[in-house]
Amino acid sequence: MTQHISQEELQKIVKSVPMLSPSASQLLQITSRADHDLSDVVALVKNDANLTARVLKIVNSAAFGLVNTITSIDRGISYLGERIIVGIAVGDSAGKLFEKELSGYESAGGDLWKHDLRTAIAAREVVKQSGADISSELAFTAGLLHDIGKSLISDYLQGSVIEAVEMVSTENDLDYLDAEEKLIGFDHTRAGYELAKSWQLPDELAEVILYHHEPAKAKEEYRALVYAVHLGDNIAMMGGYGTGSDSMRYKLDQQYTDYIKIGPKTLATIMVNVDTEFEKLESSLTKSGEKN
């Protein structure tokens, strides 16, 4: 049987999570600003010897198939793009959370990272293919972080999968968020939001974490970004990369059409691109989580 988590307990759980590394934290701050450019990212990475080494190792890994070795960090960063640098820093810094087995969802270790990476890639593709006026790099970062709350509440959902799955039904208008709330008093978006505050993540990322299943509730200024991640999340689940028992058990907010224009053909193209990009990134980035 599950028990409700009190607000105090939730705060304790959040406090027990290690802080992000200074580099990861600053990267998230800088790349969320509209007026930043790649040189800001380069300057930051250069100050962190470990991160510099990791970036060079990854850009020269087999997945990127470069003929000539890249030895300059400037070139490495511009080749990979800022989203992948953020992915490396966040993955290295919070790998344990991402790689954790989500037993409360009957989901194996590593599934969450794969789902998040899939969502990140899909959210970016959604922005690129729809031509929405949002940063596609930021959509990637937001996608990577959107489900971080599942790591926090999974242990408390242990043994609840059968009950949760039975609770979810279209007739009763209940999705898996409602099931989490009924079972432990909080859903994963709320838990993730508390962690976002503790990590002092930029507002737009915290907003995505809190509202990725209910984008209409997000602040107007961030709403398009939240919708992009909402669609990315659904695309990840449809492609077979969920996190166990909750996969496909969420509602699509059809109002996305006010912010993001995609038809069936574009969606199909997005899905193919996500598969291709995922193959490339998974092999090179996933190791970052394992080593923690």
Partner 1 sequence: MGQIVLGVGDYGASNTPGEDVKTFALGSCVSVIFLDPKTRTVGMAHVALPDSTINKAKATEKPGYFADTAIPALLTLMSKSGCDKRGKGMVVKLCGGANVMDTNDTFQIGKRNALAIKKILWSYGMGAVAEDLGKNYSRTVSISVSAGQITLSSPGKPNWQL
Sign, Cα dihedral of 184, 190, 194, 196:
positive
How deeply is 102 buried, as exposed, middle or buried, from its count of CB atoms within 10 A (0-12, 13-18, 19+)? buried
Q: How far is the CB of 283 from partner 1 (least distance, A)?
A: 14
Instruction: List the Cα angle 217/222/228 in 5-degree steps.
Output: 85
What is the Cα–Cα distance from 39 to 49, expressed in whole angstroms?
17
Q: Which of 287, 286, 267, 4 is nearest to 128 (CA)?
A: 267
> Which CB, 211 or 241, lies closer to partner 1?
241
Q: How far is the CB of 224 from partner 1 (least distance, A)?
A: 17
> Which CB, 93 or 243, lies closer to partner 1?
243
Distances (CA, A) of 150 to 160, 195, 243, 248, 288: 14, 11, 9, 15, 20
- Evaluate whether 148 touches 195 at the Cβ level (below 8 Å): yes
Residues found near partner 1 in the complex (CB under 8 A) = 105-107, 161-162, 164-166, 168, 170, 175, 234, 237-242, 244-245, 247-254, 257, 262-265, 267-269, 271-272, 275-276
Q: How far is the CB of 28 from partner 1 (least distance, A)?
A: 28
Q: How far is the CB of 190 from partner 1 (least distance, A)?
A: 20
> Which CB, 74 or 275, lies closer to partner 1?
275
> Which CB, 69 or 170, lies closer to partner 1?
170
> Which CB, 123 or 195, lies closer to partner 1?
123
> Which CB, 186 or 256, lies closer to partner 1?
256
Q: How far is the CB of 102 from partner 1 (least distance, A)?
A: 10
- Evaluate whether 283 touches 290 at the Cβ level (below 8 Å): no
- Evaluate whether 116 touches 234 at the Cβ level (below 8 Å): no
Q: How far is the CB of 249 from partner 1 (least distance, A)?
A: 6
